[in-house]
Amino acid sequence: MRSLILLAGTAVAAGLVLSSVSANAMTVGFSQIGSESGWRAAETSVTKQEAEKRGIDLKFADAQQKQENQIKAIRSFIAQGVDAILLAPVVATGWDSVLEEAKEADIPVVLLDRQIDAPEDLYLTAVTSDQTYEGKVAGDWLVKDVGDKECNVVELQGTTGSSPAINRKKGFEQAIAGHDNIKIVRSQTGDFTRTKGKEVMESFIKAEDGGKNICALYAHNDDMAVGAIQAIKEAGLKPGTDIKVVSIDAVPDIFQAMANGEANATVELTPNMAGPAFDALDAYLKDKKEPAKWIQTESKLYTPADEPMKVYEEKKGLGY
Amino acid sequence: MKRFLSALRRLLPQLAALGIILLLNAMISPGFFHVEMQNGRLYGSLIDVINRGAPVALLAIGMTLVIATKGIDLSVGAVMAITGAVAASLITQGYPLVATLGGTLAVGLFCGLWNGALVALLDIQPIIATLILMVAGRGIAQLITEGIILTFNDKPDLIFVGSGAFLGLPMPFIIWFVMAILMVTIVRRTALGLLIEAIGVNRRASTLSGVGSRSLLFAVYATSGLCAAIAGIIAAADIKGADANNAGLWLELDAILAVVIGGNSLLGGRFSIAGSLIGAMIMQSVNTGILLSGFPPEFNLIIKAVIILIILVVQSPTSQSLWTFLRRDRHPTAKQERAVR
């Protein structure tokens, strides 16, 4: 019995020492949705890298696509007394009460890559990309690339009704508005997948005179573009030259296609949402500087001029 | 010959539906029936239909047998994801094509046997038994691919299975066609088909009269798993990668629908594999037609639903008897004679 008390005492003492050591380092809890896509896995690994770089003690919780798991994770972060919480919300609603608990405990919450329906004072800031802007960057590239030439575009939309599909379409249309030489002749959903991207592109090519009427393909994500590139090749055309290919996301495989001259441009949806979030938290906790309610990440355009093979090697290790 | 003609007459509604859909497609897209040789392979929308319809056609072959025993297999979509992942992972680890295909088919067979064990040995209702693998399967596939799309761009032999051509015809079509002929021969040239139908009508009665219901149930679920494995290999080889999240997603429902459109009853009993295959082709023709039409994608599912509804209403027993009633007076004796026969 006595040895047990002794053991417990030592443990408490050790705990005190440990916590005093890490007192100057920030402890951040990160409630991630899960790992439903390659991008999500990359976001998780980049977040861990960014935390390590800054000497932040990151507590990671995978919610496996369930909101109740995320709420549980946030409550346990509050109980552990973390300095801040990162939350990638799986749905938009139902966060009010748990965020109030965090607010009462004086723990700032930063949203990653998605917005929520909750009063703005319940979270510090949201770090997300601007999907409309992503579409616009892709459109601007095409406008610049074709110049005054006539160009018929076929569009592979994301899942019908999903917000990236709606916004990326809108952004692209904004960019080509006023350029009458560029027309979207066909637009159909490819559900963000390679299989559907390939199947829909096959039918686009057949419907548009064996692909001769098509000058460019705009795909709402790279996976559909990768599928479509195969369809173009199988129809005996050259992707990248006969039909230009521009898409969004910047997953590793599109860089391989770019290196082979089969894709022309991609707009990055950066997996580094945590970097700007940590910067904002640092400024807030040290200097009490309130960040803006929305921090927009960079939507960088990549073309074959950006050493695609090098980017491919860099990205491949991130778990895409 | 006589048997062939009577089979043809039984499939008449399905063939008519397929014909009408194909004609509609030709009206929407004038070049629909145009098929030409390009790079040593046939090329055209009609070829797309038989090529893109391959996964559902393969699933429908296995599903027909399962449904004939009054069962259902919800796990086939997930099995496609698992087997696609297995194939991609084996080939990227450097195994030769034969070993990859063999290993993948074995995994599909095992998945089928698992379902068979739950249904035949533990007497769990098929819809629940196969739901287990349907839910868990994608997770298993993700574990195999480690959450990424596992690509194999540099393995031409496996890619050939999904996008190659033999005698000008796409490989996926050849595979499902050969598989169909094989299965029809096995179940119709032997008594197996009859025994499967007997289980569907009354499992207890057929067991009591000496049919090996247990082993036959095992066999039909294993066949379904095997068909799903072949479909999984084709789907992965087609995009040169295994997409655990999306491969075969909701295809179990398409396969069940193909079986039903093919004139088979979900209550089991008499079945027709050829009918199911025509059902699969009807569904793919509708899909291809929608893609060629250029309608906004918001309408895709509505159009598909309406067409399928029309087909099912025309086939429904009520409208069949209405049809018989309307024609009754014209050939009363011939009708009676046929009914007796």
Q: Name the least confident of A40-44, A184-188, A245-249, B253-257.
A: A40-44
Give the mean model confidence (pLDDT) for residues A115-141.
Answer: 94
Structure confidence at residue B337 as a pLDDT band (50, 70, 90): low
Is residue B340 predicted with pLDDT exceeding 80?
A: no
Average per-residue pLDDT for chain B: 92
Structure confidence at residue B137 as a pLDDT band (50, 70, 90): very high
Is residue B164 predicted with pLDDT exceeding 70?
A: yes
pLDDT of residue B336: 52
Judging contacts by C-beta atoms under 8 Å, the chain B residues touching residue A41 are: 147-148
Quote the number of domains for chain B.
1
By C-alpha distance, the chain B residue nearest A35 is B147
| Residue B13 located in a structural domain | no
Give the mean model confidence (pLDDT) for residues B54-81.
Answer: 97
Give the list of residues 6+ apart from residue B69 with CB closer than 8 angstroms, or none.
B196, B199, B200, B203, B216, B217, B220, B268
Is A2 or A37 the better-scoring residue by pLDDT?
Answer: A37
Give the list of residues 6+ apart from residue A140 with CB closer than 8 angstroms, or none.
A175
What's the rounded Cα separation, in Å, for the pair B300 and B279?
18
Give the mean model confidence (pLDDT) for residues B188-211.
Answer: 95
> What does the DSSP 8-state code read for residue A292?
P
Give the mean model confidence (pLDDT) for residues B39-51.
Answer: 91
pLDDT of residue A18: 45
pLDDT in tens, B170-196: 999 999 999 999 999 999 999 999 999
Judging contacts by C-beta atoms under 8 Å, the chain B residues touching residue A193 are: 243, 246
pLDDT of residue A23: 46
Is residue B339 predicted with pLDDT exceeding 80?
A: no
The highest-confidence range among A14-28, B217-231, B309-323, by mean pLDDT, is B217-231
pLDDT in tens, B3-20: 788 888 889 889 999 999
Is residue B245 predicted with pLDDT exceeding 90?
A: no
pLDDT of residue A196: 95
Torsion of CA B203, B204, B209, B211, to 10 degrees: 40
| Residue B129 located in a structural domain | yes
pLDDT of residue B318: 87
pLDDT of residue B329: 61
Range of the domain at B63: 47-294
Give the mean model confidence (pLDDT) for residues B68-76.
Answer: 96
Give the mean model confidence (pLDDT) for residues A196-200.
Answer: 96
pLDDT in tens, A237-278: 999 999 999 999 999 999 999 999 999 999 999 999 999 999
Within its chain, how far is the Cα of A94 from the centroid? 22
How far A289 CA lies from chain B's nearest CA (Å)?
A: 38
Question: Taking Cα atoms as reference points, which of B80, B90, B71, B89 lies closest to residue B137?
Answer: B80
Q: Does A93 touch chain B (CB under 8 A)?
A: no
By C-alpha distance, the chain B residue nearest A257 is B153
Structure confidence at residue B236 as a pLDDT band (50, 70, 90): very high
Q: Report the topology of domain A25-129+271-289.
A: Rossmann fold (3.40.50)
Is residue A37 predicted with pLDDT exceeding 60?
A: yes
How far A171 CA lies from chain B's nearest CA (Å)?
A: 18
Is residue A16 predicted with pLDDT exceeding 80?
A: no
Q: Residue B272 corresponds to which amino acid?
A: S
Is residue A14 predicted with pLDDT exceeding 80?
A: no
Q: Token digits for A278? A: 């940590």
How far B159 CA lies from chain A's nearest CA (Å)?
A: 11
Q: Does B33 touch chain A (CB under 8 A)?
A: no
Spans of all domains in chain A:
25-129+271-289, 131-269+304-316
Radius of gyration, alpha carbons of chain B: 21
Within its chain, how far is the Cα of B287 from the centroid? 15
pLDDT in tens, A273-305: 999 999 999 999 988 888 999 999 999 999 999
What's the rounded Cα separation, in Å, for the pair A298 and A288?
25
| CATH class of this structure's domain A131-269+304-316 | alpha beta
Say if residues A143 and A175 touch (Cβ distance below 8 Å): yes
Structure confidence at residue B325 as a pLDDT band (50, 70, 90): confident
Is residue A19 predicted with pLDDT exceeding 70?
A: no
pLDDT of residue B261: 94
Question: Taking Cα atoms as reference points, which of B272, B242, B276 lies closest to residue B59?
Answer: B276
Structure confidence at residue A228 as a pLDDT band (50, 70, 90): very high
Q: Residue B72 corresponds to which amino acid?
A: I
Within its chain, how far is the Cα of A235 from the centroid? 32
| Residue B3 located in a structural domain | no
What's the rounded Cα separation, in Å, for the pair B81 and B241?
11
Is residue B335 predicted with pLDDT exceeding 60?
A: no
Q: Does B60 touch chain A (CB under 8 A)?
A: no
pLDDT of residue A15: 45
Mutation choice for B interface testing from A37, A198, A199 by most B CBs within 10 A: A199
Say if residues A212 and A232 touch (Cβ distance below 8 Å): no
Q: Beta-carbon neighbour count of residue A21 at 10 Å?
A: 9
Please answer yes or no on whether B149 and A35 come within 8 Å at the CB atom: no
Look up the ipTM and state it: 0.89
Judging contacts by C-beta atoms under 8 Å, the chain B residues touching residue A206 are: 29, 31, 44-45, 48, 292
Instruction: Give the CATH number for residue B89.
Output: 1.10.3470
Is residue B147 predicted with pLDDT exceeding 80?
A: no
Do A25-129+271-289 and A131-269+304-316 have matching folds? yes
The highest-confidence range among A64-68, B176-180, B239-243, by mean pLDDT, is B176-180
| Residue B316 located in a structural domain | no
How far A185 CA lies from chain B's nearest CA (Å)?
A: 9
Please answer yes or no on whether B291 and A203 come within 8 Å at the CB atom: yes
For the purposes of burial, counting CB atoms within 10 Å of the CB of B144, is it exposed (0-12), middle (13-18) or buried (19 or more)? Answer: buried
Is residue B36 predicted with pLDDT exceeding 80?
A: yes
